[in-house]
A and B are shown apart, each in its own frame.
Chain A
Amino acid sequence: MKYDPFSRRFFLQGLGTTLAIPFLPSLLPKAYAATAPLRYVQMATGFGIPRGNRFFPSDAGMSQVAPGVFAKPLSNIAGDLSYTLGPAFTPYKNQISLVRGLHSFPVINHHNNSLPTCAAGARDEDQGRPLAFPYSVDSVLSESNKVYPNANGMQRLVNACPYAGGGIFFAHQNFSWNKKNGQVINNPMTTLTSDLLNRFPQLTNGSTPQPVGTREKDIMQAVYQDYVKVRDSRKLSSVDKARFEGYMQLVDELQKAESSTQPAACTPPTRENEGATDFAARARNQLRIIAAALSCQLTNVVNFGMDVNYGEMHKITHRGEASPQFTTDQYDQMQANYKKSLLDQVGFFIGLLSQLQDVDGKSVLDNTLVYVGHEYGELLDGFSKDDHQFRNMGALLAGGAAGRFQMGQYVNYAAGGGYPIHNLLVSIFNAFGLNSTDYRRDGVVGFGQYDAGRINAAGMQAKTAPAERVKPLPYLYKGVALG
C-alpha cells in the first residue's frame, strides 16, 4: 500500500493506539473542560400573530402551574404544534417553549418593529417624533461585559436582515435599536450573505475553499454519474429526458457545491445557491453562517430580522385595504402562510444549533437563548387600526440559556390577566447576569415604555408597579432573579 500520512487508514491506526491508553481525566479533550458562553439570538417577524389555533396550540389540557399561569408540555400535543409552527418545529418540542398572553404598553403603536424587543418603544413616525424607548434587548446585551467578559476578536452584535426590499419600512425591520450621543439608531445590519460572511474573517481566513476529497464530494460525483447513465441510456422519451435533466441540474449544483467547500466548524459553512430574490435560501445561508459564528465563539449576540413583502401583507393584515377582498378564513390563512414561511427558517436554525456540539459537550442550542418575537400581538377580526395589536403578544423561546428557562412548555399567562412583555425582557437580562442597574436606560425603572393610559386601560397597574417591573416572569424563568 502506498504510504500516505494523512490517509484514513493511517489515522485509524493512530486512533487505535490512542484508545489503548488508560482513561485519564487530564486526557479529556481540552475544550470539554471549558465553560461554554451563553448566546442570545433574537429573531422577530413583521406583523402580528395569526388568530386562533393557527399559531398557538389549543389550550385544552393546560393546568395551573403558578397563580394565573397555565401550562402544558408541548410533547403532549400530537403531531405539529400548529399550522404556523409546522413540521419544522415538531422535532424540537422539548427544546422550545411557547408563551402567550404578554402585553405591551406603547403610547404609539405604529410600525417601528420595536414592540417585542424594546418593550413598547414605538415612535410616532407620522409626527416625526423619535422612538420613545430606543433600546432593544440585543443592544443592551451586546454592550455588557457580563455577556462579553473578553470580547477580543468577537463581534459584539451581529445584525442581519436578509429580506431586502419592503418599501419605507425596510429600515426599521430589524427590531434592533440603540441610542448613542443622543441619537436614536436603528442598528446597522447586513443584508447580503457575502457581507455577513465578511464580518467573520476567522471564518474566511484560510478558507480558500479547501479541495476536499471528502465523502460528500466523492459520493456526489458518483451519484451524478448514475444520473448521467440513465439520461444517456436512450430509454427516456424526450419529454421525460427534459424533466430528468431538470433534476440532474440540482444534483449537479450539489456536486459542485460539495467540491468547493468543506462543511466544518470554523470554516465557511456549505451554502446553497441563492438567487437575487430567493430570500428563503438567503436566510438559510445566513443562518448557517450565524450558527457557525456562534459555535466558533465569534459572537454571542445576534439579531435576525425577518420580513418579506411588506406592502401586500400590510393590506392583508388590515383586511379591508386588500383588493380583491377575501373571506375571513382566507385572510387568516394568508397571514398564517406568511408567518409560517418565515418561522420555518427559525425551525431550520434551531435544527442547525442542535447539531453543533459546544465546548462543554452540550449542543450550542442548549447554551443559547433564541427569542422569537412578533411585531404585534394576536390579530383581531375585521379592519381596524387595532390590528396593530400590542396586547396578547406571543413569544417562542428555544434553547433555554443553559437551563435558565423552562423548555418544552406552552405557557399561557392570559387567563391570569396576562403579564407585561417587559418582564420577559427582564427575564432575559437576568438569564445573562444583568440586573436592573445593568439594563436601566434613560432612568426608566424596568425596561421599556410604560404608558399610564394603556396600563390603566388594561387594568395592569399592579403588575407594572415599580417593584414588579424588575421581576422575571413566573414559572417560565428558572434562573436567579437578580432584582
Chain B
Amino acid sequence: MLSKVVAAIAATMLLTSCYAGYRGVNSNEKGQLSEAEANSFGKGLYQNNCATCHGPLEFSTKRGRNLEQINLAINSIPKMKGLQLLKPYEVNAIAEVLAPKVKFRYTCTDSSARGKSETLMRRMNKREIVNTLTDLLSAAIMADASIQSQLGLMNNDELKETVLDIPDIFASTHARGMFTVALRAADLSMNDITTRNLIFGSCAGATTVTDTCAQDFIRNFGLRAMRRPVTAAESTELLAFFRIVGGQEGLKRVMIRLLMNPALAFHMEFGSGQVGERLRLTDYEVASRLSYRITESMPDALLLAEAAKPGALQSLANLRAQAERLLNSPRGRARLEEFFRFYLQTKNIPDPYAPAGALHGIDTVGLGQEFKTEVDEYIRNVVWTKRGRYNDLMTSREVFPRSARMAKILGAAQVTGNMPSLTSADQAGLILRPALLADGAAGVNPFHRSLTIRRRMLCETFGVPDPDLVNEQVANVGDLSNVSARERLTRITSPAQCLACHNRINPVGFVLDGYDQLGMPRQVETVFSASGQPTKSFPIDTRVDNLQFENASSADNAAQMMSAITDGMAARSCFAKTVFEYNRQRLQTQDDNCALSEVERTAEGSSVLDIWIASSVNEDIFWKAGGN
C-alpha cells in the first residue's frame, strides 16, 4: 500500500514538473520537453477537459481536429466556454495529441502484459453447454423431448447489444436443469445399443461389466467431459463410485457425475505454472480455449490428439491451422454467422411499415424475415465463398433477392442458385441493405439509423439525454407535423446541450434519410395518416457538411458516406475490437492492446476469416493472469 502511495506522489511530482516546465515557455520553447513528455502533458489535458464529452482519447470523436478548429469550437460552443481559461500552448498540446499521427488505434507497448486480461473463470454459457453436451452425447440424445424441454427452461444467455448481456452468475434453475438432462441422457445412452457402444464401449452390453470396462469409460469419457486427462486419483475415485452399484447402472452414475463436473459449468484453467504475474496454460487448456473461441464447444478428437502431443499446441502456426480447420466446421460457421447477427443487430428485423410497401405495390408481410435471410446469405458469400475483406463486406454490390418483391426492393435480378445478382452503388454493402434500414414505423427514424453506424460500426459512445430537457424541448418546438423528418430532428435537437452529441448523430441520419422503410432509395419523404393513407410529402435532402468522420466532413449521399467509412480506419478498428470482445465475451482492457493491434492490422487488408483467426489465436492464448 505504502509503495502505491509513494508511486502516486512521484507521478504527481513528475507531472507537475513537466507542467511547470511547459507552462513557463512559449510554443517555440517546446523543445525543453521530450516528445514523450509533451505527449503525456497533452493527454492529461485532454483527459481533464475533453474526455467527458468526446470519449477517451483512444476513441475520441474529435480525432484529427486541428488547433484552429478547436479554438473555434471553444469560442462558439457555449458548453465549451469554460475551456477559454486554457492557455494557447495548452490548447496546442491537446491539438497535438488529437492529430492523426498514427494510423492504428492499438499499439503493443508491453508484451509481458499479454493474457493478463484473462482474469476470471468464465462460466459456460447455454450455447456452449448445449454444444458440448451434443458433442459428448450425440445429437440424437439431445433431440429427446424431455431434454429439450429442460434446456428450454434454462436461461438463454443471449448476447443482445453488448458482450456484457450474459450475467456472471447462473440462473437458479441451471443446476437442476443440468442434473435432469444428465439423468435422462444417461438412461438414453445406455438404452440405445449404438449409442451405448459409442459412449460406454461394447463391453457395457456384457452380462457383467468389468472394472476394465469402467476404467476405459472413465478415461475416455472423462477426457472429453473435463477436456483434460483424468488424474490417477480421480480415476481411482470414479472406479470406486462405479463399484458401489456396478453394472450398467454404475456406468450411468459415473457418466452423470462427469456431466455434472465443474468443467461443464466453468472454463477451468489452472495453468502449468506461474511466470511472473501470469499463468502459462497447459496444452489441454489451450485446446479448450481455441475450441470454444471458434466453435463454442469442446475440442474435437483431432484437437485433443494434438493436445496429447507434448508441445504441439505451443506453436501458433499449428494453432492457426487448427483454427482454420475448426472454422470450416458447421459449428465454426454458425458461430461466425451468429457474430454478424450480433454485430449488425439483425436477429429480429421488423416487417416494414405496410403502407410504405403499398406505395411500391409490395406486400410487406414476412419481409423482415426475407431481409434477414438475404443479409445472412450475403455475408456467407463474401466471408466464406469469396474469403472477402471487411471492406468487401462494406462495398460489394452483390445481392441475393429470392423473391420478386426482394428483387424490386434491391433493384436487382431475382436469383435462384448460388450466384448473386448486382445492385446499384446506392444499395451496396452491409449498411445500405434493407436488413439494416428496415423500419416498421410510419416514419423512418434517422436517429436510430445513425446510432447503428456510430455505435456499432464506429464504436462511438453516447450518453443518455436528460428526459426533462427532452420533454421541455419537444414542448418548446410545438407542432412539427408540417415539416420533414430532417427538419423535425434538427429543431428538436437544436439546444447546445443536445448538439454535444447530436452534432455527430444527426448528419449520418440525414444521409440515410434517402431510404424508405423498406430500405429502398427515395427522393421524397411520404407522411402517412393514422390509417396508413399518404397525406403529404417532403423532398429529401441527404447533403450534409458536418459529418465529423476521421477523414471526411461532408457527403452528398449514402454511397459517399460509405466510401468515407471504408477509406478510414475507425470502422475497421471498431470491427477488430468488436470481434475481439465477442470472441472473449468480455470488454477489452489495456492489457489486450498487443493482441488488438494484431487484429487491427489484420483487419486492414486481410480477410474477415483471417481477422477472426487473428482474434482467436495469438500469443495471449497461452496466458492468463496469475495469483489472487
Enumerate A334-369 residues with CB–CB distance to B below 8 Å. Answer: 344, 347-348, 350-351, 354-355
User: With A and B bound together, what is the CA distance between A382 and B365 in angstroms?
Assistant: 18
- Interface segment, one of A31-39, A118-126, A235-243, A391-399: A235-243
* A273 interfacial by beta-carbon distance below 8 Å: yes
User: With A and B bound together, what is the CA distance between A472 and B627 in angstroms?
Assistant: 72
CB of A240 within 8 A of CB of B169, answer no
* B244 interfacial by beta-carbon distance below 8 Å: yes
Enumerate A240-265 residues with CB–CB distance to B below 8 Å. Answer: 240, 243-244, 246-247, 250-251, 253-254
Q: Which residues of B contact A219 (CB under 8 A)?
A: 253, 256-257, 260
Interface string of A116-152 (1 = CB under 8 A from B): 0000000000000000000000000000000000000
Q: Which residues of B contact A222 (CB under 8 A)?
A: 241, 257
Inter-chain contact total with CB atoms closer than 8 Å: 127
CB of B249 within 8 A of CB of A215, answer yes
* B18 interfacial by beta-carbon distance below 8 Å: no
* A416 interfacial by beta-carbon distance below 8 Å: no
Choice from A218, A344, A350 contacting B153 with Cβ under 8 Å: A344
User: With A and B bound together, what is the CA distance between A285 and B205 in angstroms?
Assistant: 37
CB of B152 within 8 A of CB of A87, answer yes
Which of A60, A215, A354 has the most C-beta atoms of chain B within 10 angstroms of its own C-beta? Answer: A215
User: With A and B bound together, what is the CA distance between A233 and B271 in angstroms?
Assistant: 13
Choice from A220, A237, A329, A350 contacting B350 with Cβ under 8 Å: A329
Choice from B119, B174, B262 contacting A226 with Cβ under 8 Å: B262
* A227 interfacial by beta-carbon distance below 8 Å: yes
Q: Which residues of B contact A240 (CB under 8 A)?
A: 120-121
User: With A and B bound together, what is the CA distance between A253 and B178 in angstroms?
Assistant: 13
Give min CB distance, A335 to chain B, whole Å.
14
Which of B175, B257, B467 has the most C-beta atoms of chain A within 10 angstroms of its own C-beta? Answer: B175
* A462 interfacial by beta-carbon distance below 8 Å: no
CB of B120 within 8 A of CB of A243, answer yes
Choice from A58, A92, A278 contacting B145 with Cβ under 8 Å: A92
CB of B266 within 8 A of CB of A246, answer no
* B560 interfacial by beta-carbon distance below 8 Å: no
Enumerate A268-309 residues with CB–CB distance to B below 8 Å. Answer: 272-273, 278, 281, 284
Interface string of A314-345 (1 = CB under 8 A from B): 00000000001001110001000000000010
CB of B179 within 8 A of CB of A91, answer no
When C-beta atoms are compared, the residue in chain B nearest to A382 turns out to be B530
Q: Which residues of B contact A351 (CB under 8 A)?
A: 145-146, 149-150
CB of A243 within 8 A of CB of B152, answer no
* B123 interfacial by beta-carbon distance below 8 Å: yes
Contact-residue bracket for chain A: 35 or more
User: With A and B bound together, what is the CA distance between A205 and B207 in angstroms?
Assistant: 39
CB of A91 within 8 A of CB of B145, answer yes
CB of A88 within 8 A of CB of B153, answer yes
When C-beta atoms are compared, the residue in chain A nearest to B154 turns out to be A87
When C-beta atoms are compared, the residue in chain A nearest to B445 turns out to be A327
CB of B260 within 8 A of CB of A251, answer yes
Q: Please, how many residues of chain B have a CB less than 8 angstroms from a CB on the other chain?
A: 51
Give min CB distance, A60 to chain B, whole Å.
7
* B21 interfacial by beta-carbon distance below 8 Å: no
Give min CB distance, B464 to chain A, whole Å.
12
CB of B172 within 8 A of CB of A239, answer no
CB of A250 within 8 A of CB of B253, answer no
When C-beta atoms are compared, the residue in chain B nearest to A236 turns out to be B121
* B440 interfacial by beta-carbon distance below 8 Å: yes
Which of B252, B440, B625, B627 has the most C-beta atoms of chain A within 10 angstroms of its own C-beta? Answer: B440
User: With A and B bound together, what is the CA distance between A243 and B268 in angstroms?
Assistant: 12
Choice from A235, A250, A324, A333 contacting B170 with Cβ under 8 Å: A250
CB of A218 within 8 A of CB of B366, answer no
Which of A8, A220, A226, A238 has the most C-beta atoms of chain B within 10 angstroms of its own C-beta? Answer: A226
Which of B145, B149, B365 has the most C-beta atoms of chain A within 10 angstroms of its own C-beta? Answer: B149
Give min CB distance, A371 to chain B, whole Å.
20
User: With A and B bound together, what is the CA distance between A60 and B628 in angstroms?
Assistant: 58
User: With A and B bound together, what is the CA distance between A91 and B148 in angstroms?
Assistant: 6
Interface string of B289-329 (1 = CB under 8 A from A): 00000000000000000000000000000000000000000
CB of A328 within 8 A of CB of B441, answer yes
CB of B440 within 8 A of CB of A348, answer no
Q: Which residues of A contact B179 (CB under 8 A)?
A: 216, 220, 254
Interface string of B101-142 (1 = CB under 8 A from A): 000000000000000000111010000000000000000000
Interface residues of A (CB under 8 A from B): 8, 52-53, 58, 60, 86-88, 90-92, 215-216, 218-220, 222-223, 226-227, 230, 233, 235-240, 243-244, 246-247, 250-251, 253-254, 272-273, 278, 281, 284, 324, 327-329, 333, 344, 347-348, 350-351, 354-355, 382
New A-B contacts (7) at CB < 8 Å, excluding given A233-B270, A243-B121: A222-B257, A226-B260, A244-B121, A244-B262, A247-B266, A272-B173, A354-B145
A-B contact pairs, 13 of them (CB 8 A): A53-B366, A218-B253, A219-B257, A237-B121, A239-B120, A243-B123, A244-B121, A244-B262, A244-B266, A246-B170, A272-B173, A324-B467, A350-B149
